[in-house]
C-alpha cells in the first residue's frame, strides 16, 4: 500500500504492508512520526484520514479520547486497507544520518528471573543485532496476548544481540499474567524498535539526574551503563533516585554499588522508600548507596535543591510519578528541553 503523509512542513511518501501499523511503517521508513507510548494510550500519534480506508485493530484504545471527529485515528493502532492519504498537524522530519531507524525483529526469550516479588528480569536473544541509544525502548508482542507493549532496555551496547528488560507485574494485565504464570523461556516474540527520544549521549556535556519509579529504572540502567563505559562521571555529576515502596521491592542494589565503585563520588544513588524507613541492614549491606523515605519525586526535589545548574533530567515510571517529578523540576526552574521522560502507560 502507498501512504502519502501530509505534515505541517512537507509531504512524505512510504509503503506499508498488509496489517502493518501506519506508525511502524512510517518510522521504519525513517519518517520521524509523532508518538510517545506506541501502544494506544497517549494519543500523540493521532492523524486524520484524508482518503482511502484503514483498519483499526483496537477501537477501544484509551488514546482515542484525544481524537476529534470521525476521520481522526491513532497511527499506532491502525493499518491501511488501501492506498491512503493522511494528515498530521505537527512538523515531521526525515530521521537524520546516524539515527537508529526502528525495524521489526524476531527474538526468543532466553531467560526469566524473579528480581523482586512482582518484578522479572527478562532476556531476549535477537535474530539479528539491533542498534539503539541508551534510554530507548522496544515494542514487544508475545503469542496469545493482543497488541504490543513497550519495554525499556536495561543494557547498552552497539550491535546488541541480546536485550535485557525488567518487567513489573500489573495484576490482571495481559502480558503480566502471561509472563508471571507461564514457562516463557524459549518462546518466540516479535519486536519493533528501537523507539523513544529520552536518550543519553556522552556528547551531552551536562550533569545528569535520573528519577525512576519501579521498572522505570530500566532505561536509567542503560544510560548509566553508557555513561560509565565512556568515563562520563570523571567530568560530570550523576544523581540517581530510584523509588520503590519497601526495601523488598528494590532490585539492582548490587549493580548500583558496582557502578558507584566504578564511577566514584560524582555518582550519587539514592533509593527512596515510600512506605518505610530504610532498615539499618540496608545501610550496612550497601554502604555505597543512600536510602531515604518518601515518594521519589519528593526525595529528589529535596536533595537536589540548589543543584540544578547544567542538568539534564531523565524520568521514567508510572504516569502519576512522572507527572509529579515533571512538576517538581519545573518548579525548580529546569527548562522543558532538559526534562526527558517515558511514561509507562
Ligand X SMILES: Cc1cc2nc3c(=O)[nH]c(=O)nc-3n(C[C@H](O)[C@H](O)[C@H](O)COP(=O)(O)OP(=O)(O)OC[C@H]3O[C@@H](n4cnc5c(N)ncnc54)[C@H](O)[C@@H]3O)c2cc1C
**Per-residue contact string for residues 57-76; x = within reach of ligand FES by CB under 6 A:** ------x----------x-x
| 279 is an interface residue for ligand X by CB under 6 A | no
Q: Which of the listed partners (ligand X, ligand FES, none) does 44 bind, with a CB threshold of 5 to 8 Å by partner kind?
A: ligand FES
Q: Which of the listed partners (ligand FES, ligand X, none) does 328 bind, with a CB threshold of 5 to 8 Å by partner kind?
A: none
Q: Which of the listed partners (ligand FES, ligand X, none) does 199 bind, with a CB threshold of 5 to 8 Å by partner kind?
A: none
Stretch that binds ligand FES, among 42-50, 86-94, 220-228, 326-334 (CB under 6 A): 42-50
| 147 is an interface residue for ligand X by CB under 6 A | yes
Give one word for 308, left, alpha or beta, with left for phi > 0 and alpha for psi -120 to 50: alpha
Rounded to a whole number of angstroms, the distance between the first and last alpha carbons of the chain is 31
Q: Reduced to 3 states, what is the DSSP secondary structure of residue 330?
A: helix
| 194 is an interface residue for ligand FES by CB under 6 A | no
The C-alpha cell at 266 is 560524582
Which position among 23, 167, 189, 299 is part of the footprint of ligand X (CB under 6 A)?
A: 167
Which position among 3, 16, 37, 140 is part of the footprint of ligand FES (CB under 6 A)?
A: 37
Q: Which of the listed partners (ligand FES, ligand X, none) does 165 bind, with a CB threshold of 5 to 8 Å by partner kind?
A: ligand X
Q: Which of the listed partners (ligand FES, ligand X, none) does 151 bind, with a CB threshold of 5 to 8 Å by partner kind?
A: ligand X
| 118 is an interface residue for ligand X by CB under 6 A | no
Judged by CB under 6 A, the number of residues near ligand FES is 13
User: CB burial class (10 A; 0-12, 13-18, 19+) of residue 85?
Assistant: middle
Report CA-CA distances (Å) from 27 to 30, 43, 57, 58, 271.
5, 17, 19, 20, 36
User: CB burial class (10 A; 0-12, 13-18, 19+) of residue 72?
Assistant: middle
For ligand X, give the closer residue by CB, 125 or 262: 125
For ligand FES, give the closer residue by CB, 37 or 329: 37
The continuous run of DSSP H or E covering 343 comes out as: strand 339-343
For ligand FES, give the closer residue by CB, 75 or 299: 75
User: CB burial class (10 A; 0-12, 13-18, 19+) of residue 218?
Assistant: buried
Q: Reduced to 3 states, what is the DSSP secondary structure of residue 162?
A: strand
Q: How far is the CB of 274 from ligand FES (least distance, A)?
A: 28
DSSP 15-71: E--TT-BHHHHHHHTTB----SSSSSSS-TTEEEEEES-EEES-TT-GGGGG--STT
| 136 is an interface residue for ligand X by CB under 6 A | no
d(CA 188, CA 184): 9
Q: Which of the listed partners (ligand FES, ligand X, none) does 76 bind, with a CB threshold of 5 to 8 Å by partner kind?
A: ligand FES
Q: Which residues lie closer than 8 Å to 315 by C-beta, 6 or more apart?
A: 198, 210, 211, 212, 216, 322, 325, 326, 329, 339, 340, 341, 342
Q: How far is the CB of 220 from ligand X (least distance, A)?
A: 10
For ligand X, give the closer residue by CB, 147 or 279: 147
Which position among 52, 173, 202, 279 is part of the footprint of ligand X (CB under 6 A)?
A: 173
d(CA 325, CA 50): 39
| 35 is an interface residue for ligand FES by CB under 6 A | yes
Pick the closest to residue 218 from 137, 152, 150 (CA basis): 152
Residues 57-76 that bind ligand X (CB under 6 A): 58
Judged by CB under 6 A, the number of residues near ligand X is 26
In the complex, the residues that contact ligand X under the rule CB under 6 A are 37, 39-41, 58, 137, 146-147, 149-152, 165-168, 170, 173-176, 215, 218, 342, 344-345
In the complex, the residues that contact ligand FES under the rule CB under 6 A are 35-38, 40-45, 63, 74, 76
Amino acid at each position: 500500500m502507498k501512504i502519502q503523509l501530509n505534515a505541517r512542513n512537507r509531504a512524505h511518501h512510504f509503503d506499508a504492508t498488509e496489517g502493518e501499523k501506519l506508525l511502524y511503517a512510517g518510522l521504519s521508513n525513517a519518517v520521524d512520526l509523532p508518538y510517545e507510548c506506541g501502544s494506544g494510550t497517549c494519543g500523540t500519534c493521532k492523524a486524520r484520514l484524508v482518503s482511502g480506508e484503514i483498519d483499526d485493530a483496537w477501537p477501544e484504545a484509551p488514546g482515542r479520547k484525544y481524537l476529534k471527529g470521525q476521520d481522526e485515528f491513532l497511527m499506532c493502532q491502525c493499518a491501511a486497507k488501501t492506498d491512503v492519504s493522511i494528515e498530521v498537524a505537527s512538523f515531521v522530519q526525515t530521521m537524520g544520518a546516524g539515527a537508529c531507524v526502528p525495524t521489526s525483529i524476531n527474538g526468543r526469550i532466553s531467560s526469566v528471573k524473579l528480581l523482586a516479588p512482582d518484578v522479572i528480569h527478562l532476556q531476549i536473544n535477537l535474530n539479528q543485532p539491533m542498534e539503539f541509544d541508551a534510554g530507548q525502548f522496544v515494542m514487544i508482542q508475545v503469542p496469545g496476548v493482543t497488541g504490543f507493549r513497550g519495554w525499556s532496555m536495561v543494557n547498552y551496547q552497539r550491535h546488541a544481540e541480546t536485550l535485557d528488560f525488567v518487567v513489573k507485574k500489573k495484576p490482571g494485565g495481559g502480558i503480566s499474567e502471561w509472563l508471571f504464570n507461564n514457562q516463557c523461556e524459549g518462546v518466540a516474540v516479535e519486536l519493533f524498535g528501537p523507539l523513544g527520544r529520552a536518550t543519553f549521549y556522552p556528547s551531552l556535556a551536562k550533569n545528569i539526574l535520573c528519577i525512576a519509579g519501579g521498572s522505570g529504572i530500566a532505561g536509567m540502567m542503560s544510560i548509566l551503563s553508557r555513561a560509565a563505559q565512556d568515563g562520563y562521571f570523571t567530568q560530570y555529576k550523576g544523581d540517581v533516585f530510584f523509588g520503590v515502596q519497601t526495601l523488598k521491592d528494590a532490585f539492582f542494589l548490587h549493580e548500583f554499588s558496582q557502578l558507584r565503585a566504578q564511577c566514584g563520588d560524582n555518582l550519587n544513588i539514592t533509593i527512596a522508600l515510600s512506605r518505610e524507613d530504610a532498615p539499618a541492614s540496608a545501610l550496612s549491606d550497601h554502604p555505597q548507596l543512600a536510602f531515604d523515605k518518601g515518594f521519589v519525586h519528593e526525595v529528589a526535589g529535596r536533595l537536589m535543591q540548589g543543584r540544578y545548574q547544567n542538568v539534564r533530567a531523565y524520568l521514567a515510571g508510572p504516569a502519576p510519578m512522572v507527572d509529579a517529578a515533571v512538576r517538581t523540576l519545573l518548579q525548580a526552574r529546569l527548562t522543558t528541553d532538559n526534562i526527558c521522560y517515558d511514561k509507562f502507560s
